Structure 1
């Protein structure tokens, strides 16, 4: 192989962050890391516990001491390290409801210490999206809120906390996925009208020294009406680099997502992203094998050879990514908060909002209830294996609690359920009921027969007029369920 070809392939590898299968690094990944691959992205398929992740990352680092190990650990709904148990920290929306930036920074610092402790040095968090569209199918509770100023100050606090522990934070999904109604896993969302408001948290993130920014596969007509942001020179170079002054690493969202790969292919989209100004290509989903990594590497090399990607742009991307690896290799800067284990539950408790609509003292419940959990289909960012709900923590506080989970409900099924409650107190648990008509119908049906019931909303509480008592947790993390159970039983 000609020397230049080998050099270009190594250079292309130095901007790739592929996923892989299994809980230990496969041979192809070890080999490629030794040859200059920038790093990897971990998913739940790679995680079986904290000790195993530490062993895995040590094996990766043995091949490349400056390897970048990234993960989506937002806390709350999107967790990878705690996928088997649910997150020990509430998600961003709950932190925004509390609106205590010191608390947000402390939560993030503890999270960073956990990540650093297992060898992860890049966290694809926080979401700097402004969730101004309550029907957004993919952001929702992953945002700190719907107000740009609130999102800005909490995104900055989260970044400070993470990076104090030596973990690079990543503001996403630039230039803002909040005011959209389409999930970019499947198609191309179009950004709404308040573009300046959407940019405010990213400006704050840059001022806070965020090390990385993740692109959104979004069409931004205010800047480029033709190309999604990930592939747009106007968005990545002229807006993010030149206007906003970001000097860190621009990382793509999963390049396999249909919003870009369905049109341009894995390799084509990757080469176009680097040409537009991205510095690192994130590869996830099912496209997590050596063949996909080779396809992307070769497409980048071909783009250079054919003049579609200037070689100096690829060198610039590699330089920025290498600098991030050098920073991350510096190790832990902070030991984290001494309250790290308890701060998550403390934050979840502070976020809970109780609306009492009955003069009768419905709470606390003093006998074992029947808990009915209405479970919708989650978006691809949220792992389906992550447990959630109020039934489990209530069962621990009140032995004998009965739990029924429904993924859809018709009238006869609900009638059968009502007849089986045997006079128990009823707790109805919803998750984004405003987005799922079947949930609202089920709640109304149950409340018609049992108006004294308690309703717990673990998604966005667009309505608080349901149930004799309505409890909003602003999240479905394990600690959010615990906080709701404590309110129900009078332990809060």
Structure 2
């Protein structure tokens, strides 16, 4: 029996998760929901503040009550709800350092309650990548650590925490983005490890997340040569069908990483990438931030045409739609959304965060030294996953400009992504030359040379740092 193009179109849009431009709901999103659109994803550019976000989500729910509303709310460096002001959660790397799975679960459930209060029912978190490459430009402090079993325990705790409050979790980036030194937002990374290493390291946290009942798993735009030497995971049946569905037994929704990333679509364009992802086994396609109506319609047409021509089997498309529809039904928004939870208290942290800091001998000497303690924060370019979110001591009013450092003060110079060429090192040398006792604070994943490492730059981490260094808010 031939399926009409109208029916194929409804199937196609049932697999799509576009972003959109602006801080209000575009008319085309409302129209496409009526035509079967499965999901939308909110990004930092869609958020001005809590009241505006609440209104945006209420408008979405009014126009599209069954829509899956997704967001990358990892906690720590990557936040969308708190994009203008900085995350109220410590983030994976510091939670991993503290190594208390109950604390990780509590942090995740706090995130879940906040999402549920806005009517958001899909959290594109946690990151379960094992950060085995210190120079990794995109994972870093988003990871629970560099040991697979350690990451696995915390990944399962995070999944349990988010889903315990009725929000779907999504473990990412399968089969692993931790052993790369290339950001897939900009290019196509490749992981060259033997199959037994991949199985014991990269796949172990995904096994744990699956055992914890994770609803979704997100693909990576990474070529993993031990499985498929030619195609990125997002477009590889060997990765998605043979390994994820077959060997690991995952039966939930496979979500593509954003298809506007260079690692996915730089050579083919987003519409072709969408078709390839569905053919390979993805169920829900994240089209990327600031999706335009024109781009969205081009993707729809490409998927319809691929299905009509037989390149994308109708059965594969129907299977994807059915999985997404089941997810939406199971994690449907509760009628009482918006009632509470939008501003989670931080009291549960109980001052524990400092215990996860890495503190060198120079810091102890600096704390004992005379002089007024001040913090100078040096600008550090973020990766595209993090964006321009507020971070570090500056986000909580703890910093002094270098030119305003008073005579006799002792200085902590803070930054993140501290490669050898980072401008922070010049600032620190300059302050030392002026006679200031000076230490270097890395607010991210350590790359060597820092005296103190916080393993994250969220506002709660910055507040803990300020208390530890004795620097009061300005």
Does 34-43 or 330-339 show the bigger shift?
A: 330-339
Secondary structure, aligned partner of 2:268: helix
Aligned partners of 2:392 and 2:447: how far apart in 1? 18
Give 1:243's aligned residue. Answer: 247
Give 1:110's aligned residue. Answer: 110
Aligned partners of 1:29 and 1:333: how far apart in 2? 24
Cα contact 2:409–2:437 (8 A) shared by 1:
no
Give 2:448's aligned residue. Answer: 463
After TM superposition, list the pairs within 5 Å mapping 1:366-381 onto structure 2. Answer: 368-381=372-385
TM-score (norm 1): 0.88
Gaps of 5+ in 2: none
Aligned partners of 1:107 and 1:161: how far apart in 2? 8
Alpha-carbon distance, 1:350 to partner = 3.5
Do structure 1's residue 351 and structure 2's residue 387 form an aligned pair? no
Give 2:408's aligned residue. Answer: 423
Give 1:124's aligned residue. Answer: 124
After TM superposition, list the pairs within 5 Å mapping 1:86-485 onto structure 2. Answer: 86-193=86-193, 194-196=197-199, 197-286=201-290, 288-329=291-332, 331=334, 340-344=345-349, 346-357=351-362, 360=365, 362-363=366-367, 368-384=372-388, 386-391=389-394, 393=396, 395=398, 402-404=400-402, 421-434=406-419, 436-447=421-432, 449-450=434-435, 452-463=437-448, 466=450, 470-485=451-466
Aligned partners of 2:62 and 2:252: how far apart in 1? 26
Does 128-137 or 374-383 show the bigger shift?
A: 374-383
Alpha-carbon distance, 1:393 to partner = 4.2
Aligned partners of 1:250 and 1:77: how far apart in 2? 24
Secondary structure, aligned partner of 2:223: coil
Task: Write the deviation string for residues 219-268 of structure 1: whole angstroms up to 9, x where unpaired.
Answer: 01101111110001111111111111000000101011111211221111
Alpha-carbon distance, 1:426 to partner = 1.7
Give 1:414's aligned residue. Answer: none
Q: Would the alpha carbon gap of residues 356 and 333 (structure 1) be closer, same or farther in structure 2, given more than 3 Å must change?
A: farther
Q: Would the alpha carbon gap of residues 87 and 436 (structure 1) be closer, same or farther in structure 2, given more than 3 Å must change?
A: farther
Alpha-carbon distance, 1:339 to partner = 8.0
Cα contact 2:190–2:224 (8 A) shared by 1:
yes
Aligned partners of 1:172 and 1:128: how far apart in 2? 6
Aligned partners of 1:85 and 1:30: how far apart in 2? 29
Aligned partners of 1:185 and 1:64: how far apart in 2? 30
Task: Write the deviation string for residues 187-230 of structure 1: whole angstroms up to 9, x where unpaired.
Answer: 11001423121111011110110000000000011011111100
Aligned partners of 2:345 and 2:192: how far apart in 1? 38
Aligned partners of 1:270 and 1:333: how far apart in 2? 35
Secondary structure, aligned partner of 2:137: coil
Aligned partners of 2:49 and 2:234: how far apart in 1? 33
Alpha-carbon distance, 1:391 to partner = 4.4
Count of aligned positions:
465
TM-score (norm 2): 0.92
Cα contact 2:272–2:302 (8 A) shared by 1:
yes
Alpha-carbon distance, 1:338 to partner = 12
Secondary structure, aligned partner of 2:21: coil
Give 1:11's aligned residue. Answer: 11
Secondary structure, aligned partner of 1:433: coil
Secondary structure, aligned partner of 1:380: coil
Task: Write the deviation string for residues 66-89 of structure 1: whole angstroms up to 9, x where unpaired.
Answer: 210000111111111111111111
Alpha-carbon distance, 1:443 to partner = 3.1
Gaps of 5+ in 1: 396-400, 405-416
